[in-house]
Chain A
Amino acid sequence: MQAAGIEPEPAFFDESSRALLFATNNPAISIIRVRAFDVATFVAHGAAHIGIVGSDVIDEFDYSELYAPVDLGIGRCRISVAMPRDAVDDVQAGHIRVATKYPATTARYYHARGIQAECVKLNGAMELAPSLGLSGRIVDLVSSGKTLAENGLVETAIISHVSARLIVNRAAFKMMSGTIPALVQAFRELSGARAAA
């Protein structure tokens, strides 16, 4: 953001600050901080014009009002299926139950494979679900795989690779055509330059 010419006020970096709305050096831009899962919703409704969020969240909500023009190439991880080491595979298991924070992504993944799967929506600690009999599998974000291993799970399939994206509200992109496309271009060049370096 700094390189694109946006400097947040100091409180933005202050971990103890409870504020949610921050000013920047540019009076036309202010920054809000919301939960990762809400970023796409704020931008899709036009409550925020642009946002930065993982592609996992974008895919999960699949909002038609969003553009995801720039892959920022940071926060890389993946969404994967994991199950206990001794579990039967998808073909043999007649009925699959999956604990996940991503019910839509999970349903789409199994649907594309013609497998009937039932999702249990959890908001955290998915890794506990198989050992306690809540579900046979989980679908969750994996970066190193350490949490999975500690809970006796193995990663069996990667659903998609995740990285942080710049997202833009569709109506804002058209109506603020003087400023937003230029900002997008700046981010695109900066992330391209970083990827090349």
Chain B
Amino acid sequence: MKIPPDLLPEGFRDRLPPQAEVAARVSRAMIDVLTSYGYARVAPAIAEFESALAERSGGAARNQHLRFTDPVSGHTLALRGDITVQVGRIATTRMQESPRPLRLCYHGQVLRLKAKQLRPERELTQLGAELIGNDSVAAACEIVGVAIDALEAAGVKDITIDFTLPDLVERLAEKALPLAPDKIDAVRSELDMKDAGGLSVLGADAYLPLLAATGPFDAAVEKLRAIDAGGALASRIQALESIAATVAGRANVTLDPTERHGFEYQSWFGFTIFAKGYSAALGRGGTYYIDRADGPSEAATGFSLYPDPLIDLAEESNVQRLFLPLGTDAATGAKLRSEGWVTVAALDENDSAAVLGCTHIWINGQAVTV
């Protein structure tokens, strides 16, 4: 089949004016928040050796890289699908001697091998912050707070944060609510679907109350406390309450202790961010471990946002474009630009302010509305 000329591959798109400008503005606003909290920016490479990238990626992401053969090395290269793993690599290799906790942030494009039916894009913007060397409650509080600040800076309102305990089932299955090791996966999968009937069929009735311990945080955490088997969860519940207290009033907090969508590699704490008007999650974060070749793995806390939906729905900023008619001298133009105007200079007498989308014209030393 002949490829139609000038069409992009499925899942890729160009951003045109003013959307491209909006994208830069929204991203800048969020990055400024991250840097203001002391997160230093890193810009990892867009491609890496596939084997190294896959080894550091957890779960399904491992096979989701767009790959090609490097004519230089003869090895397979992969285009990055998640910047978090690259930041982990940087932190534990070239920056391994940097003092901990190490605060890093990033922004860039990531690529997917295949689009999901629900999200047809194969090129996504990813933006986030990682706090390396600490996965305490204090670290989680800071990360959740920074994530909310960043979204607010991008103009997002009515934020909902959903807390989860990614390793909950393993922890309970150990002792409190014993499960055969071969059943853990099946139980987690039924908990994922919130399928009460399926759990009963598996003989995991003891896990049923977990399904009810979801919803608005205060009520849900009480239910979780009520089923706290033998105190195995007491410290976790206390930690969740401290984190919830720091975001109180800034976001709705919900709890879903068994949620594990996108939490393949998180350890004790995870959160997902939703906001009114967006049908899918805007981002997620939590605590995790970064493997080190030279020693024990290192704890970390962080979050990633996928701001493309924000950019698509963001208000276009009200730009005032000033038309400079033929013959306007260069110094006048420079002065007006330094005052904050966007100037559009006429190149010949056929150019017109209206056609070029200008809001004002420079006439007799004054900006006149078109």
Indicate if A75 sits at the interface (CB-CB under 8 A). Answer: no
Partner of A71, one of B117, B118, B197, B279: B197
Of residues 18 to 66 in A, which have CB atoms within 8 Å of B's CB atoms? 44-46, 63-66
A146 within 8 Å of B by Cβ?
Answer: no
B194 and A174 contacting across the interface, CB-CB below 8 Å = no
| A68 at interface by CB-CB < 8 Å | yes
Given A170-B261, A171-B279, A171-B281, check contact A177 B254 (CB 8 Å).
Answer: yes
Complex-state Cα separation, A45 to B118, whole angstroms? 6
Q: Which of A53-88 contact B (CB under 8 A)?
A: 63-71
A72: nearest residue on chain B (CB-CB)?
Answer: B197
Is the pair B196, A67 in contact by a Cβ cutoff of 8 Å?
A: no
Nearest to B160 among chain A residues (CB) is A175
- Expressed in whole angstroms, the minimum distance between the Cβ of A132 and any Cβ of chain B is 30
Does B193 lie within 8 Å of A68, measured CB to CB? yes
B196 touching A69, Cβ below 8 Å: yes
Among the stretches B210-218, B312-320, B323-331, the one at the interface with A is: B210-218
- Contact residues of B between 274 and 310, Cβ < 8 Å to A: 274, 276, 278-281
The yes or no answer to A188 lying at the interface (CB within 8 A) is yes
Task: Tell me the complex Cα distance, A174–B193, Å.
Answer: 14
Interface membership of B256, Cβ < 8 A:
yes
The reply to whether B193 and A66 contact each other, CB–CB distance below 8 Å, is yes
Is A181 positioned at the interface, with any CB of B under 8 Å from its CB? yes
Task: Judge whether B162 is part of the interface by a CB distance below 8 angstroms.
Answer: yes
Q: Which residue of A lies closest to B252 (CB)?
A: A177
**A181 near B193 (CB under 8 angstroms)?**
no
Q: Residue of A at shortest CB range from B197? A: A71
Q: B272 near A: Cβ within 8 Å?
A: yes
Q: How large is the interface on B (under 10, 10 to 19, 20 to 34, 35 or more residues)?
A: 20 to 34
Q: Which residues of the partner chain A approach B117 to less than 8 Å between Cβ atoms?
A: 44, 63
- Residues of B52-86 at the interface with A, using a CB-CB cut-off of 8 Å, are none
Whole-angstrom distance between the Cβ of B118 and the nearest chain A Cβ: 6
| A178, B193: Cβ atoms closer than 8 Å | no
Which single member of A44, A68, A171, A177 contacts B194 (CB below 8 Å)? A68
CA distance in complex: A187, B52 (Å): 48
Closest to B211 in A: A69
Are A171 and B280 within 8 A (Cβ)? Answer: yes
A140-177 CB contact bits vs B (8 Å, 1 = yes)? 00000000000000000000000001001111011101
Interchain CB contact under 8 A, B196 and A65? no
What's the least CB distance linking A1 to chain B, in Å? Answer: 19
Chain A's closest residue to B254 (CB) is A177
A73 to B60 Cα, complex, angstroms: 33
Inter-chain CA distance A64–B116, complex, in Å, is 10
* Interface hits, B238-286 → A, CB 8 Å: 252, 254, 256, 261, 272, 274, 276, 278-281
Q: Which residue of B lies closest to A45 (CB)?
A: B118
Task: Give the residue among A44, A177, A188 with the most B Cβ atoms within 10 A.
Answer: A177
Query: How many whole Å from B114's CB to the nearest CB in chain A?
Result: 14
User: How close is A148's CB to chain B, nearest CB, in angstroms?
Assistant: 27
